[in-house]
Amino acid sequence: MPGLSTEALKALVRTVPDFPKSGIQFRDITTLLAHGEGLAASIDLLADRAVTLGASKVAGIEARGFIFGTALALRLGLGFVPLRKAGKLPVEVISEDYALEYGSATLELDPTIIEPGEHVLVVDDLLATGGTAIAGANLLRRAGARVEHAMFVIDLPELAGAQALRDAGVTPHALMEFAGH
């Protein structure tokens, strides 16, 4: 059973006003990561929710999704699939471009590490507009995976990422929500 409640974990997330631009309330998880009991409780709470989803692998989105995704995969006894930024993998990859608030980005995957029909759970630290998670789900699906769920530590509901994921056929799960952007 987790040692800290989600409210206690929420208090460990630092808010940095006006970053990266004026009016944005940046939710900084480094303070949660640096708190041993908080990090452990976060993984325990994610695992308690994930165990019922029936995934056979966990995919984490570079970079902060690697932290939570790898820890969750270890806790569940599952393999980990890294969804990488462009140009980081030394093998043939498949790619998915997606829009960011201030531009665009690309995720890449080695498709040989996905078995056809394998149920993969997408994990990242924060859900904003949903673009990155949807790109990850699309990439995994193109490799032959079933992607039905995505997990996040933080959801920013005002940015409507949860609805965008649902529209893409992915059920979102988050430990905590913060108002604002």
- Reported as a single tens digit per residue, the pLDDT across 49-108 is 999 999 999 999 999 999 999 999 999 999 999 999 999 999 999 999 998 777 799 999
Whether 175 contacts 38, CB under 8 Å: no
Task: Kindly list the structural domains of the chain, giving each domain's residue range(s) and its CATH number in brackets, ordered by start.
Answer: 54-177 (3.40.50.2020)
Mean per-residue pLDDT for 24-28?
92
Beta bridge partners of 107: 85, 96
The number of CA neighbours under 13 Å toward the Cβ of 168 is 25
Catalytic residues: 64, 101
Per-residue pLDDT, 103:
79
Whether 126 contacts 77, CB under 8 Å: no
